[in-house]
Structure 1
């Protein structure tokens, strides 16, 4: 039986780097695409390193050839100029989806963000959490690009009978500590991230789905119902880091009120490390 080949764009980024060792398994080849330099394959590691941009049609066509599934992480992961955001995040995702369609890839996973709904209020989440398919209320140009990615995914799923799962990721780091107290709400542990990607890769005929990408955190305001319907089961909880953040100031104002946190007041079009 042939190996499953999974193309991952943006594989040199934070999430891609965390997923690389966690998505390795017998019978699977990871094809890793990024413009940035990547570590070469380790002994026994079934990976294919590809240097290329998600905005390059020829590079994406070549990268998609022979792939069975696509995890699209590529793009700017923070606020940037409108021109850069449009070129890489929106037009780039269109280029990726077109290449996937032409190559016959039927399973696509797109990385969206909580910032697609950043101006929704945490208080409106309710007991079950904010539904994963809540309509967009972006907080930045970056958030707008993620909302556009979600719509492109829906279009390709409906038009071309592709299974497209969009993950609205909270924040995926080794620990929630880089985000301070906000991370206790938004964290997706790397191990849970791998569990979620595996569920998305293996769920039978999901069609188009929107799910939240977070761990089962005590303080989460996001519904896990939709992700669990695909087979996801979170085993981690950011609360284990709460003591280490006890002396950090809690969010206030808009950063506390809205899902997007500090992105809701950050300057539009200016890169920021929030």
Structure 2
């Protein structure tokens, strides 16, 4: 068990899963977000921080052994907003981690870095990146920044291309992309505990029958997803009769129409 795990974006949906279920992975969870979150409980520290504030991020990271970086805008948005939260915030986090001697970052990347691949195409971690949105581009930047900081400074990163992490899948697309909260937490646990990961790109997806993504290269982690979207298939297919915009692409609606500039 590590001493202190910093979790950015702890007030978001994924952050709440982590706060409830990941306490056994570190003696102290340092929870941070740009918004107010509930006060610290046993084994917790709460620090409010804007990741675009470089000095504040340096203070936030100091004393952490590893970082679970969830803090970002997680939907399509205009470029100026993404520039602050996803580009500048991610750079500030990596530079602060380097200076503080943090050994490992788990970076919440996204399936939207490969969202313009056709539905049904089977992808591995080295598949060509085809972002479906400015949001997807911001996650490509994060993956490349992580590569640089590993090659130049030895800072390990798992770039976790998260599918659709909700309590249950909500539509046809999520029958392929769903990541259950239980599988998300167990994967993060493995990534924290692994002796070495280098620069690792992998997909956050449960054991869905029609999953499009392979993690065969990461078998050394010993992670086996326990959940599948199959129990939800009948209800979803009965409910969703119409074809959604962007459904021919893996990114779904993110690949439909124009993007915000």
Question: TM range, normalised to the smaller chain?
Answer: over 0.9
Residue 164 of structure 1 corresponds to 157
CA distance in 2, matches of 1:250, 1:70: 42
Residue 110 of structure 2 corresponds to 113
Residue 203 of structure 1 corresponds to 194
TM-score (norm 2): 0.94
CA distance in 1, matches of 2:234, 2:133: 31
Partner residue of 1:231 out of 214, 217, 222:
222
Contact 1:33 1:52 in 2 (8 A): yes
CA deviations on 1:127-181 (whole Å, 9 max, x unpaired) are xxx102322100000010011110001000111011111000001111112xx12
CA deviations on 1:187-231 (whole Å, 9 max, x unpaired) are 110010001101111112211010000111112111131343322
CA distance in 2, matches of 1:66, 1:199: 22
* Unaligned runs of at least 5 residues, structure 1: none
Q: SS where residue 38 of structure 1 aligns? A: coil
Residue 127 of structure 2 corresponds to 134
Q: 1:123 to 1:3 in 2, by over 3 A?
A: closer
RMSD between aligned residues = 1.8
Q: 1:216 to 1:251 in 2, by over 3 A?
A: farther
Residue 203 of structure 2 corresponds to 212
**Aligned positions, number:** 261
Q: Does 1:255 align with 2:255?
A: no
Q: Does 1:15 align with 2:6?
A: no
CA distance in 2, matches of 1:46, 1:212: 30
Contact 1:215 1:237 in 2 (8 A): yes
